[in-house]
Structure formats: structure tokens, C-alpha cells
Amino acid sequence: MLLMLTLNYSYALFQAMLGIFFSAKSAVLIEDVPFTEEDIRNDKTPPQNIHNLYNQVGINCFIAAAIYVVVGAVSLCQVRLNKRQEYMVT
């Protein structure tokens, strides 16, 4: 159980860090931004389009981190409830 929660919250931390780096528009992560060549050619302000895509990917990472935290919290509650019911005599 401890391993599961540790992995869950470490993934949430990783996703949150990715969200921060995407929001900061890190040049290292340009390969992970979903844009095509037509996005750059057809747009009057290509840097703004790329920045918007960076922000969108960053928001998606924050959403994934929040989902990891919620799933981990629900999992922890379920484990505690199941442990408490193990020792009850019916």
C-alpha cells in the first residue's frame, strides 16, 4: 500500500513539475507540444500560437496531477475502510 501511494504521489509531483515547465515555455519540451507546420505557416503570429499550445499542455499536466491526487486520496480512504472492516466481528 505504501508503495502504491508513494508512486501515485510521485507521479502527481512529476505531472505538476511538467505543468510548471510547460507554463514557463521550456525550450527543451518543444518536441512534446502538438503543433504542425501548417500551424506556423497559416498563423500571423506563430510564437503566440506556440505559446498558447505550451499553456494548453501545461494545463493538461496540472489536470493530470490533480486526478492523480484525487485517485490517491480515494485509494487511501478505501484501504483504511477495508482495514477497519477486517477486524469487525459480524
What pTM was estimated for this model as a whole?
0.82
Work out how many domains the chain is built from and give that number. 1
Residues (pLDDT < 50) of the chain are none
Instruction: Decide: 72 and 2 in contact? Cβ < 8 Å.
Output: no
Range of the domain at 59: 2-86
Question: Locate cell 507546420: which residue?
Answer: 37
pLDDT in tens, 20-37: 999 999 999 999 998 888
